[in-house]
Amino acid sequence: MLVGVPKEIKNHEYRVGLTPPSVHELVGRGHQVLVQTGAGAEIGLSDEQYTAAGASIVAGAKEIFERADMIVKVKEPQPQECAMLREGQILYTYLHLAPDPEQTAALVKSGAICIAYETITGPGGGLPLLAPMSEVAGRMAIQAGASHLEKSKGGMGLLLGGVPGVAPGHVVIIGAGVVGTNALQMAVGTGARVSVLDKSVDRLRQLDLIYGNRISTLYSNAHAIEEAVLSADLVIGGVLVPGAAAPKLVTRSMVSRMKKGAVVVDVAIDQGGCFETSHATTHADPTFVVDGVVHYCVANMPGAVARTSTFALNNATIGHAVALATKGWRQALREDPHLKNGLNVAQGKVTYAAVAKDLGYDYVPADTLLA
């Protein structure tokens, strides 16, 4: 199969769909790989390294979209990329469709086979192609939050860990999945007081066993969320209902009663965000203020540490990339129910139930297209 890797064009996005070792893996199995010139230049992956791994370097994205049977990317296709997709072409990348009606309409119109990293499941449960980026974003969330608590960044002027004789800050983490537990690990490391909320008591039980009375675990409901965020200095939003728009757990009214100069980091913003006051921002202009509360809502946080993130992402994506290239999408999906869960849009149909429900499309099960 001819596999194409365009350079990412989202704001401050320096990750690449395939690393040179991943190219080597595909080429070794008889596939051809086209990489757009400079695709990895910003993170130290040169055209020469890609060529040495067996890729052909091409000048522009247009040629890649025209020639490739499968496009491998990182972020959701931007409008000009959607316009270049064609019927039957495989798109393998993050999509986050539920909060994005325009992109969904463009992918439906394209007739392409659109497989979303974030809804591919794993034999051991969980979302193994989302997990590495959630590890990165969860860890970064505390870094970003701590930095924006500084006065010059709009925050209240608080050091998360405090100092001897001065109490630490209070970090509230909503959602104790991969983002939440990685944020928790970092927050505990700073010396902050930490509360974590989730709907899963089993998950809270695991965290209690690890951290003991160093943290507070709270069952997530509207009352507990309100009480926690009103006393918080930093709130991390890390909830997920796979494939669906994030539930708005922190209301505008709660935000209006939070401490002035507090910070919220809505990591779940790529699924629409779990604060009613959130909207997506970019690394170039990451924050805005609502009722005195600083909101950090960058939808591609791992793009800031693109070198680490590219390698972590490829560790998780290359296996399915090889299967898709070697078997074609129909056979690869028929043989692997977890990869099949990644199919969101194909041949003009929405094949993921939560996306169809949230955006008002008819849901067409993937199986009906695999015969």
341: helix, coil or strand? coil
Q: How far is the CB of 257 from ligand NAI (least distance, A)?
A: 19
Residue tagged active-site, from 100, 233, 266, 270: 270
CA atoms within 13 A on the CB side of 325: 26
Residue from 56, 200, 331, 368 in contact with ligand NAI (CB under 6 A): 200
Give the chain's radius of gyration (CA, Å): 21
Q: How far is the CB of 103 from Mg ion (least distance, A)?
A: 6
- Binding segment toward ligand NAI, per CB under 6 A, in 6-14, 41-49, 145-153, 234-242: 234-242
Distance CA 320, CA 125 (A): 16
Task: Specify whether 24 is catalytic.
Answer: no
Site for ligand PYR in 132-161 (CB under 6 A): 133
36: helix, coil or strand? strand
Q: How far is the CB of 37 from ligand PYR (least distance, A)?
A: 23
Between 89 and 134, CB nearer to ligand NAI = 134
Between 133 and 172, CB nearer to ligand PYR = 133
Task: Specify whether 12 is catalytic.
Answer: no
Residue tagged active-site, from 31, 69, 96, 320: 96
Between 72 and 269, CB nearer to ligand NAI = 269
Is 229 a binding residue for ligand NAI by CB under 6 A? The answer is no
Is 203 a binding residue for ligand NAI by CB under 6 A? The answer is yes
Measured in Å, how far apart are the chain's first and last C-alpha atoms?
21
Site for ligand NAI in 268-307 (CB under 6 A): 268-271, 298-302
Q: How far is the CB of 259 from ligand NAI (least distance, A)?
A: 21
Distance CA 326, CA 303 (A): 29
Which amino acid belongs to residue 112? A
Burial label for 258, CB within 10 Å (0-12, 13-18, 19+), is buried
Q: How far is the CB of 266 from ligand NAI (least distance, A)?
A: 8
Is 100 a binding residue for Mg ion by CB under 5 A? The answer is yes
* DSSP codes, 220-233: --HHHHHHHHHT-S
Task: Report the candidate in 106, 111, 110, 114 with the shortest Cα–Cα distance to residue 347.
Answer: 111
Cα-Cα-Cα-Cα torsion 202, 207, 213, 219, nearest 10 degrees, comes to -40
User: Quick count: other Cβ atoms within 10 Å of Cβ 115?
Assistant: 29
Residues that bind ligand NAI (CB under 6 A): 118, 127, 130-131, 133-134, 137, 174-180, 197-200, 203, 220, 238-241, 246-247, 249, 267-271, 298-302
Catalytic residue numbers? 96, 270
